[in-house]
Amino acid sequence: MGGECSRHTRKARGCRSLFARQTGSKSSRLAYYENFGLVAEEVAKVSSDLVTPDREGKPETVRYEAINAMLLNEFLKEHRKVQEQGETIAELKNDIAHLIATVKNQAAQIQTMNDQLESTKAVVRIAANNQ
């Protein structure tokens, strides 16, 4: 179901959303409220399991509880990926720190060898001049 859920989630991203403002009676506690939703016909194209049909079999209502579960599953998968990427980044930073230390150590060794080489050249020049 994980792969199917991902496929449905990708397709669902293309569904249009609805935004509705409704006013109730003045005696109602909910005299004015806003609703947000998806177009049931478009959701049915993605997955007929995510809609409830009317008597004629046409998509009538989006099953938001199923969509919420699907989105939670996708969120958890993405969260795991982010955690794994964080661990990988920490390992790479550690590797880079070790490489930098190695390069600095090698640079110091090279400098020491260059200094010794210059000293040897100076001794050879002095010896050559004395002969």
Note the pLDDT tens digit of each residue in 6-28.
555 555 555 666 555 556 665 55
**Per-domain residue ranges for the chain?**
2-103
Sign of CA dihedral 101, 102, 108, 111: negative
The pLDDT value recorded for residue 123 is 78
Q: Is the pLDDT of residue 107 over 90?
A: yes
Read off the pLDDT of each residue in 74-99 and give the average, rounded to a whole number: 97
Read off the pLDDT of each residue in 110-123 and give the average, rounded to a whole number: 90
d(CA 35, CA 20): 5
Predicted TM-score (pTM) of this structure: 0.53
Average pLDDT over all residues of the chain: 81
Weakest mean pLDDT among 35-44, 49-58, 69-78, 116-125: 35-44
What's the number of CA atoms in the CB half-sphere (13 Å) around residue 78? 8
The pLDDT value recorded for residue 1 is 46
Q: If you compute the radius of gyration of the chain from its CA atoms, what whole number of angstroms results?
A: 35
